[in-house]
Amino acid sequence: MGPVTSELFEGKAADVRADIFSLGLVLAEMATARRGRPDPGVLPPAIERVVNRCLENDPDERWQSAQDLKWELEASASAPVPASTGRWNGLLAGALGVVALLLAAVSWLYFREPSSAPAPLRISVLLPEKSRPLSLALSPDGRAIAMVLVNDGRQQIWIRKLDALEPVALEGTDGAATPFWSPDSRSIGFFADGRLKRIDRSGGPVQTLCDSLGALGGTWNQNGEILFGDLVRLKKIQARGGAVSHLANEGVREIYPFFLPDGRHFLATQSPRPTEAGVWLRTLDGSDSRHIQCAVPWPATRE
């Protein structure tokens, strides 16, 4: 019976390091024509070092990932061959040939390792007593929620960190509506008093960016651009402030914009002709405009 890894012997769950153990056995057997751990001095030093670390009983002492093993094998394969006996040179050449085969196997092993998909997150947010929620936004890093709550007659933004028990009100956000996050999750944009404003997630002074009468929804891309819709059309401004520019789309009101990951495309709700109302995909430069989803299904025209 061949060597058994410590985790398998103890009935523990095996991971990629158990596969690395098996690869070490394969390499040793192909190089020595014998099963099991090779005797000291049988393999060339560089290959012996790689194999021995593959075959450590403690998984924490082995190569911790296939990528680490791949790098070490590449370094061993490119190392100069020392002068030695013909048998030693022949064995080293054979071992390096195995390295080439093993590199392909390790590459397959590495790339087949499943990425750790984020687990579904389910939380229950306990609101302050007698408060009423109006809107909320989850931070891009998934660690906090910005909520507009009406509590004791005040309408403010409250921040609930997911590792905290209670939300905390952000002073200076009275009258806030439809908050949205910066891409780095450090700041929050919102509308209040007919203006577009921003504030740090931990509080502090509020910065007023521009007027925004009747604004409904904003979005912030990684280039530091904020897009928001008002009574007339979509507008754009730098997150640090400055001049406001209009996005050309004559005669169409667009609200609730949302940047896609490239920071150039965005979704927005439009209300042009009834058959074209709904969600549209557009670009900041106007090079693309597509109707994605109708607002409501329209009945067929009666004869």
**The whole model's pTM is what?**
0.58
pLDDT of residue 77: 58
Report the CATH number of the 130-211 domain: 2.20.25
Extents of the domains making up the chain: 6-112, 130-211, 214-303
Q: If phi over 0 gives left and psi between -120 and 50 gives alpha, with beta otherwise, what is residue 152?
A: left
- The pairing of beta strand 278-283 with beta strand 289-294: antiparallel
Find the helix or strand (DSSP H, E) in which 285 lies: none
N residues, the chain: 303
Exposed e or buried b per residue across 162-178, where buried means at least 16 C-beta atoms within 10 angstroms of its C-beta: eeeeebebbeebeebbb
pLDDT tens track, the chain, 303 positions = 445 555 555 556 667 778 778 877 877 777 777 777 888 887 777 778 888 888 888 888 887 776 677 677 666 656 555 554 455 555 555 555 555 555 555 555 555 555 566 677 677 788 888 899 999 999 999 899 999 999 999 999 999 998 888 899 999 999 999 999 999 999 999 999 999 999 999 998 999 999 998 888 999 999 999 999 887 789 999 999 999 998 877 667 788 999 999 999 999 988 655 556 788 898 998 888 888 876 544 444 443
Contact in structure between 221 and 259 (CB atoms under 8 Å): yes
pLDDT of residue 138: 94
Q: If phi over 0 gives left and psi between -120 and 50 gives alpha, with beta otherwise, what is residue 245?
A: beta
State the amino acid at position 204 in one-letter form: G
Question: What is d(CA 123, CA 75) in angstroms, rounded to the nearest whole number?
Answer: 48
pLDDT of residue 58: 83
